[in-house]
Structure 1
Amino acid sequence: MTPGREAIRSKGWWAAQRWLLLRRASQLLVLSLFLSGPWFGLWIAKGNLASSLTFDLLPLSDPFVLLQSLAAGFMPALSGLLGAALVLVAYNLIGGRVFCAWVCPVNAVTDSAAWLRRRLAIKTGRVPDAATRYWLLGAVFGLAALSGSLVWETVNPVHLMQRSLIQGLAGALAGGMTMTLSVLLLVFLYDLLVASRGWCGHLCPMGAFYGLLGPKGLLRVAASQRAACNDCMDCFAVCPEPQVIRPALKQDGQVSPVILDRDCTACGRCIDVCAKNVFNFTHRFDQRSDS
């Protein structure tokens, strides 16, 4: 049965899709802040996710890109350092991989691949070792140091996708989207045909970095009503990092009902699809549980 179908029957369509739709709205809002200038002349945020200036006042910089710059031998401007510090503080407080679910535009691509994979009942493929993304993260910084350039950023699907959208029609006519579409297609086909949730869950070095960035973040999902679980497995089917659920839900190695694993993206999809309302958003210090 399709994950979430029972939740739709018991909770209604909106309650069974709420966090998914809010995530899409968040991703679109972030993109619209950057697109409003080049598309409509309303300059709210200038730049892109790598480096931006909001309302000509607030600098924000991706610390992942900044560290690559440092490894390559470039000293960023003071505004870049300040922007990276602000982002570091924010994601340390909230949780690093919130970026992956609520900001990253590639999330919609990988979610689509996961949905189609379930619809087509594709079971084949080989998932890489969980540590692969951390090896790739190290390789990104190593390549930057050896080459003296931001090698990864030439193929990083996150920044490629956003930059291409900002360039818009002019970029497409000039062939600027060719690389972006090729990379995104490879990510989509990899997740669809080779490894379930393979890109975000096992390969993406940017996701690995943000996982390391805010492991003690306050925002958490908890299985507060875990005694009501009927083992339907819908939460495991839709979770981009299903290994994070079991310790909190089944008390496998931990008593706390809070999902504490750094790889949890706080996407809220487990909350959506659970007909028994087992999961909820809370903070990491909330230990309330029905079992």
Structure 2
Amino acid sequence: MSRFTELFMGMLGAAPKKPEKVSDGVREIMRLKYLDKEGYIKEKLHIRSHQSTSHKWRNRRWAVLLAVNLLFVFSFWLDIQILEGALTASRFVGFHLIDLNSALHVMLAHKHIIVNLFIGTFTVFLIWVLLGGRSFCSWVCPYHLVAELTEKLHLKLVEKKWVTDHEFHRGTRTVFWVLFALLSIVTGYTIFETLSPTGILSRALIYGPGLALGWVFLLLLFEIFWSRRAWCRYVCPIGLTYGVVGTLSPLQVAYRVEHCFHEGDCRKVCLVPHVLDVTIKGRASEDHMGLGPDCTRCGLCVDACPTGALRFEVKGLAKLL
């Protein structure tokens, strides 16, 4: 199975597997790493003792996410007409922008291709092809930010053993993607749009709160007391849609085996830890690998890595600052 196929199937819910073949480069790196075990351990302890907490990429991401959503708010309330509408469908200085997943469901509900929707999705399609992965989720989606904050409460409750984190099969997200698409076809309505916390929060910020916020509140309670980030991990079809679109993106979080001590700090903070399976000792097939389309490009793993084994890169260009 090719690396591309493996990553794509992983996005749909397949479990990561040990590589069938490991490159000579990886073999040589691992040999040199453990040739001097004592020196390796000393270096690891030295880095650990001098490690400082970084939130560089998290802060950049939060700033962008807040800026995008507040621009919607100010454009409406101040009537400056820069970014009109909401995340589902908007217009930026005259350019129509339509969420790909929403446009798909509308066309499935109407059972034909709507030219205006198709034109409106083209710009959005290009943006997320360039940025790749599930960048929309972590850099734009307001629910992602709210869930990220309440996740901290969930983890504290788990640490105190007041609640237990319940995991589901990641393939359930693919099932829900198909289910919501079929519901649009059968009912003629975009059922998902009435349930999507992304759209609900976006509209509530811009036009004012409504009863639909109660549904968002229930989702957050479920995630706090039962399952960590359940909506994003196991239900939301938006992430899967954008993951497919961003499969060939030049932007990626890249992993370098040479600089990794395989301690797993990155996997502890990751929303989709299966994309970091390559950081487990013996799981990398190449010495330099991209994390794939299911990565949200949130940068938490980059911030958490003390050695720079994980970093943002544009293929063929230097790492991002």
**TM-score of the superposed pair, with normalisation by structure 2:** 0.77
Residue 216 of structure 2 corresponds to residue 179 of structure 1: no
1:81-230 superposed matches below 5 A: 81-120=118-157, 121=159, 124-168=164-208, 172=209, 176=210, 178-180=211-213, 182-224=214-256, 226-230=257-261
Higher mean alpha-carbon deviation, 278-287 vs 255-264, is at 278-287
Task: Name the CA distance, whole Å, in 2 between partners of 1:206 and 1:74.
Answer: 20
TM superposition outliers: structure 1 runs of 4+ over 4 Å: 6-13, 74-77, 284-288
1:237-252 superposed matches below 5 A: 237-247=268-278, 250=281, 252=283
Residue 303 of structure 2 corresponds to residue 272 of structure 1: yes
CA contact (8 A) 2:71 2:83 kept: yes
CA contact (8 A) 2:252 2:292 kept: no
Change (3 A) 1:39 1:250: farther
Tell me what 2:59 maps to.
Answer: 21
| Per-residue deviation, residues 31-61 of structure 1 (Å, max 9, x unmatched) | 1221112222322111111111111x21111
Change (3 A) 1:9 1:23: farther
CA contact (8 A) 2:266 2:304 kept: yes
Tell me what 1:3 maps to.
Answer: none
Change (3 A) 1:254 1:230: closer
Letter in 2 for 1:144: S
Task: Name the CA distance, whole Å, in 2 between partners of 1:113 and 1:218.
Answer: 32
Aligned equivalent of 2:90, options 29, 52, 62: 52
Aligned equivalent of 1:63, options 100, 106, 122: 100
Q: Helix, strand or coil for the counterpart of 2:212?
A: helix
Change (3 A) 1:273 1:220: same
Percent of aligned positions that are identical: 28
Letter in 2 for 1:71: L
| Per-residue deviation, residues 12-39 of structure 1 (Å, max 9, x unmatched) | 56xx011111111111111122111222
Letter in 1 for 2:293: R
Change (3 A) 1:189 1:257: farther
CA contact (8 A) 1:222 1:282 kept: yes
Letter in 1 for 2:172: T
| Per-residue deviation, residues 67-95 of structure 1 (Å, max 9, x unmatched) | 10111116575443212011112212321
Aligned equivalent of 2:109, options 72, 80, 83: 72
CA contact (8 A) 2:133 2:295 kept: no
Task: Name the CA distance, whole Å, in 1 between partners of 2:172 and 2:317.
Answer: 32
Q: CA RMSD in A?
A: 2.6
Letter in 2 for 1:60: L
Structure with the greater alpha carbon radius of gyration: 2
Unaligned runs of 5+ in 1: 1-5
Q: Helix, strand or coil for the counterpart of 1:46?
A: strand
Q: CA deviation at 1:164?
A: 0.6
Task: Name the CA distance, whole Å, in 2 between partners of 1:251 and 1:266.
Answer: 24
Q: Helix, strand or coil for the counterpart of 2:290?
A: coil
Unaligned runs of 5+ in 2: 1-45
Higher mean alpha-carbon deviation, 37-46 vs 21-30, is at 37-46
CA contact (8 A) 1:222 1:279 kept: yes
